[in-house]
Amino acid sequence: MAKFVLVHGAFTGGWYWQRVSQRLRAAGHEVWSPSLTGAGERNHLLDASVNLATHIKDIVNTLIYEDLHGVILVGHSYGGMVITGVADQVPKRLARLVYLDAAYPKNGQNATGGFAEGTGDTLGKMAESPAAELELLPPLPLQAYGVVDPDDIAWIGDRRVGHPMATLNEPLRLNNGPTKLPRTYIRCTDRSGLLTVFGADPLQPMYEQAVADGVEILTVESGHDAMITAPGQVAERLGNLAVASAS
């Protein structure tokens, strides 16, 4: 069976993977879903020093201190920035990278620079707060992510938190060239929520880059937060990738 480390996106935390983690464990896999510094149950650690490098170190340390090897590393949304940096630093601990509707950055690129034109400006305006000590991006409406079921909204509750803009503005620095690890991009097919908020699909340029790089493309029939609205599909795709990685 496989070892999965699941990296969440902005505003959430390791808890957001709960429905997928339960299914993967029921299938016999081992799963870790750490919360990045300043997120989830670690939101009390959020301060101005938290940036992309901090979050990359969070996951590198998880791999080292849990003594993990042969890991399928999954990143959702902003988490794609994180797993790309992790793969550059500790590739020998990984078996595969999986981008779940995620940022797919190039060397020297930051998240806002990789998004569709105008997305960075929209996010910057959302994060403006003259009274704030930190430049924080407030959680986007759940509808933007395709989460509209009242039960799902109630389960999420008020557990989402602001996300530091520093993590989105810091360029990713890769020191070891393009990764040689197998990569899969899982595209969520319903883009309507993101289009409503941004007027364009923020992830389209990065998705197109993944296609151009020859990355394996899979789909899930859901909005952006597939781990909430389609956890069975996500777990199935990941389970199939575990079989492929073992063969």
User: Which backbone phi and psi does 185 adopt, to 5 degrees?
Assistant: -115, 120
CA dihedral defined by 78, 218, 105, 111, rounded to 10 degrees? -30
Which residues are known catalytic residues?
Answer: 77
For residue 102, give the nearest of 73, 72, 80, 74 by alpha carbon: 80
CB 93 within 8 A of CB 63: yes
Q: For position 130, what pLDDT does the model report?
A: 44
151: exposed, middle or buried (Cβ count in 10 Å: 0-12, 13-18, 19+): exposed
3-state helix, strand, coil in the chain (%, to 5): 45, 15, 40
d(CA 167, CA 97): 20
User: Which backbone phi and psi does 76 adopt, to 5 degrees?
Assistant: -105, 135
Low-confidence ranges of the chain (pLDDT < 70): 116-134, 247
Per CATH, which fold does 3-246 belong to?
Answer: Rossmann fold (3.40.50)
Distances in Å between the Cα of 70 and the Cα atoms of 33, 90, 94, 177, 185 are: 16, 11, 5, 20, 19
| Number of CB atoms found within 10 A of residue 154's CB | 8
For residue 202, give the nearest of 136, 97, 107, 120 by alpha carbon: 120
Q: For position 125, what pLDDT does the model report?
A: 65
User: Which bin fits 212, alpha (ψ -120 to 50), beta or left (φ > 0)?
Assistant: alpha
Model pTM greater than 0.85? Answer: yes
User: Which bin fits 199, alpha (ψ -120 to 50), beta or left (φ > 0)?
Assistant: left
Q: For position 120, what pLDDT does the model report?
A: 61
Quick check: helix, strand or coil at residue 134? coil
